Structure 1
Amino acid sequence: MTARDLNLQLVLDLSRDAILGGAGERPAAAARRVFERLAARTGVSGAVEAGRLPVCHHHLDAAYAGMAALPSPMPELASAFAAVEARLRWTKRKGVSPQDQPFESGHANTTLIGRGGIEERDDVWVGATVMAPGITYPDHHHPPEEIYLAFTPGEWWNAEMDWKEPGPGGVIYNPPGILHAMRSGGSPFLAMWFLPVD
């Protein structure tokens, strides 16, 4: 089996421990599906041309600095994610146009593992979202369930819950197909997301 990049593996290990250490039954079960698949094999190396969008240049370093001031494992996650981030390609949400301001220029998504990621595979999808302060990511849905790990302050909503602020290191769970959204407050937003794909 091909060895996984050490920093990427550290991001996964620290994220797994944070999620499983603080998640309820449903998110923990979904997370176990993701991490068991990741432990079983390593996907092929993806041919990704790394690239940041302006929102990344403006806000990722501030997000990392905020994480560095928090209790463990957030500083370690910031360091490992920053090392991996240099290899990632950040993009805007599909279908967003320049008229969709401030969202269009205030967000970026990236895939670490999955289709289009630095590790290609089709049974899990692991990525991240960064947003400038004061941005709402629009309502959306997708078939797989989803677990978010908050790296910074931010709020989440879905059709089964009101807006919730889990805090850095907190976990949010979206059941399969549910309508959901997220938003940043007065500081930059950074979170990872994990989806088991069937």
Structure 2
Amino acid sequence: MPAERPPELARFLDALKSGLAQVKAGEPRSMLERVFTKLESCAPPRESGPEKLPVCEQLAPVLLQLNQPGQALTGLAHSLIELAPELRWSERPGPAPGANDLFHGGHANAMIIGPGGIENRRDLWIGISLLAPGVRYPDHNHAPPEIYLVLTPGRFMQGTGNWFSPGTGGSFYNPPGILHAMAAKDAQPLVALWVLDVS
């Protein structure tokens, strides 16, 4: 019997697609089209249950603030509130070049769709990152292209360029292999969604 996508996950994908509507033409837009074409079919759920880390207590206040009438990301915030109990959070494993002392214990990542995600598949990754105030995430890169959708103010870096702030609801594209990093502001957490076209 074909897998059936849970309605709350379908609502999240609709809200994500709407939130990424401003992505520029060219390769970023082409990448998103490939991802959402793949999402026309769904995969089975993961077998393991959800898991939280202490830093995850900072997520709910952020989502509740975004889920207010008149906010641009209300639909996305509401869908994430629905999904939050099902997320399996973990810390980034391995070396952490460029990260600061707040990184360990001050961040968490969760795969929403992808390996170990609510929908368990390998051809694309959609996930969420949470950084506590003041956390600087390590420099890292990966072969698949990636688009970020930023839900709270924060700073981002690509290659040898200067740090930049996309702003709430802003998005940007990481070409394959580019070195990149992110950092939360001192007074508030950073929450960002990421989409990778893996195959």
Using the size of structure 1 for normalisation, the TM-score is: 0.91
CA distance in 2, matches of 1:188, 1:151: 10
CA distance in 2, matches of 1:13, 1:161: 33
Aligned CA RMSD, in angstroms, stands at 1.9
Match status 1:112 vs 2:126: no
Deviates more, 1:109-118 or 1:64-73: 64-73
Match status 1:77 vs 2:76: yes
Structure 2: 5+ residue stretches without partners: none
Match of residue 33 from structure 1: 34
Match of residue 66 from structure 1: 65
CA distance in 2, matches of 1:184, 1:49: 28
Q: How many percent of aligned residue pairs carry the same amino acid? A: 37
Match of residue 46 from structure 1: 46
Which contiguous aligned blocks of 4+ residues in structure 1 show a shift greater than 3 angstroms? 69-73
CA distance in 1, matches of 2:81, 2:164: 26
Match of residue 158 from structure 2: 158
1:107-134 alpha-carbon deviations (Å, 9 max, x no partner): 0000011111111111101110001011
- Map 1:103-182 → 2, pairs under 5 A: 103-159=103-159, 161-182=161-182
Structure 1: 5+ residue stretches without partners: none
Match of residue 194 from structure 1: 195
Match of residue 88 from structure 1: 87
1:143-173 alpha-carbon deviations (Å, 9 max, x no partner): 0010011111112111164212111111021
* Letter matched to residue 88 of structure 1: L
**Secondary structure of the residue that 1:162 maps to in structure 2?**
coil
* Letter matched to residue 11 of structure 1: F
Q: For the Cα contact (< 8 Å) 1:131–1:190, is it kept in 2?
A: yes
Give the C-alpha shift of residue 23 in structure 1.
1.2
1:8-64 alpha-carbon deviations (Å, 9 max, x no partner): 111111111221x2111232221111111112x10111113211101001x102211
**Secondary structure of the residue that 1:164 maps to in structure 2?**
coil
* Letter matched to residue 7 of structure 1: E
Q: For the Cα contact (< 8 Å) 1:111–1:118, is it kept in 2?
A: yes
